[in-house]
Structure 1
Amino acid sequence: MSGFSQSSVSSQNSRGTKRKWIPKEDVVLGACMIDLHNVGTFNADMGFKVGYLNELEKMLEKFLPHAMLKAKPNLESRIGTFKRDWTIIYDMFRGKNNIGFGWDEHRQLIIAEDAV
């Protein structure tokens, strides 16, 4: 890998510098989080133990050496975005208001009743 596309370069906005993530980085971050969970060293009751961000940073450096992703603010911020975005989908299936939504295991897709 000689470098990343321009979409991964930081851009300036009114609140300072905000990093733009590319899909490959999201995929690698997700895979590393799954690996970290499966190893079990950083597992806690409802998430990860303190220090997991630094371990993720080390893991990502192996797969994305030119991305220069840091535990804080990069990983912390992106994981927060994941939580916010995917909470909506999680709630559709597991939450109190999931009436009319489901998962079709055979077709591997979300299903909804016509009224929804």
Structure 2
Amino acid sequence: MAPHRKWVQAEDVILVDILTELALDGKWKSHTGFKSGYLKVIEQKLAEKLPTAGLNTTNIDSRIKTLKKHSMEINEMLNAGSDFEWDYVNHKLVCEKNLFDTWAKVIF
């Protein structure tokens, strides 16, 4: 098992850009998700853009799962009602702190 690795925001941005690129490329996307071998392609693209990061397919797969979990939680909050809003300029969730604290207590 690979050791835990902390990702920085710049790496996340590049990873999401690469995932978007692959999703738009009909060669890598199917109706059930990404086709076999996509992690290796992401690893190669990340190595080109971040040559000193040393990211491997295990790191990438783990980060994709984490990002997917976070996006599902944000989507759930946004669907819960109008008290949660998405700030498209700053790319973040906006709500009152006490509302978020209450939500977090229920989830965690």
Between structures 1 and 2, the one with greater helix share: 2
Residue in structure 1 matched with residue 70 of structure 2 by the alignment: 85
Residue in structure 1 matched with residue 103 of structure 2 by the alignment: none
1:99 and 2:81 matched:
yes
1:32 and 2:14 matched:
no
> In structure 1, the residue corresponding to 2:3 is in which secondary structure?
strand
Deviation string, structure 1 residues 60-98 (Cα, Å, up to 9, x no partner):
111011111111x1001000110111111122335xxx2
Residue in structure 2 matched with residue 70 of structure 1 by the alignment: 56
Give the residue type in structure 2 aligned to 1:25.
Answer: E
Give the residue type in structure 1 aligned to 2:45.
Answer: M
TM-score w.r.t. the length of structure 1 is: 0.67
**Does the CA-based 8 Å contact 2:74-2:93 persist in structure 1?**
no
Residue in structure 2 matched with residue 50 of structure 1 by the alignment: 36
Structure of larger gyration radius:
1
Identity %: 34
Deviation of 1:47 (Å) = 2.1
TM-score w.r.t. the length of structure 2 is: 0.71
Deviation of 1:111 (Å) = 6.3
Deviation string, structure 1 residues 16-50 (Cα, Å, up to 9, x no partner):
72111111111111111111111221112142112
The count of residues paired between Structure 1 and Structure 2 equals: 96
Give the gaps of 5 or more residues in structure 2.
Answer: 100-108
> In structure 2, the residue corresponding to 1:21 is in which secondary structure?
coil
